Amino acid sequence: MPPEQPETPAPADASSIGGPLNRVSHGYAPDGRPVTPPPVPLEKIVGDVVDNVQATVKAELELLEARGELALHGVTWTATWGAVAATALGVALLALAVGAILALSPLVGPLLATLIVVAVLVAIAGFAGWRAQRSYADIRTAFRRDLAGERGDD
């Protein structure tokens, strides 16, 4: 088999300006300088900007609405499950109170056992109410206009 010879390039067209170098890419176009497009009218540019702003505002409003619906869904289920938990806790505390009265009755009698359990529950309720009042004060402080507290509470 004879050795293969590389193909020689075709001779350049002598009629073209610059010869074969006219077709060399200078980094922006393989066939020479690009033709500049005609300028875009200002009315079209302004119209495109207005359309883009309208589309953006519409998309933002739809996003805000979707986030509101998601928050409403979360609040609804949080309140539902919170109510179930609070009911279960109330029943458990009632059972604990009845059990404590029944356990103390043989030792101190039914009347004194009831008074002891009621006194303990009132003390627990008082402590919880005091903590709730402190937390409420924190909420009022957070929503006050003047956080330095120089004016009275709003």
pLDDT digits (tens, 9 = 90+) for 48-57: 898 899 999 9
pLDDT value at residue 28: 59
Q: What is the Cα Rg of the chain in Å?
A: 42
| Residue 8 pLDDT grade (very low, low, confident, very high; cuts 50, 70, 90) | low
Tens of pLDDT, residues 63-73: 999 998 998 98
Q: CA–CA distance from 42 to each of 39, 45, 82 (Å)?
A: 9, 5, 59
Average pLDDT over residues 29-36: 65
pLDDT value at residue 133: 86
Give Cβ neighbours of residue 23 (< 8 Å, ≥ 6 apart): 30, 31, 32
For residues 16 and 22, the answer to whether their CB atoms sit within 8 Å is: yes
Tens of pLDDT, residues 16-25: 555 555 555 5
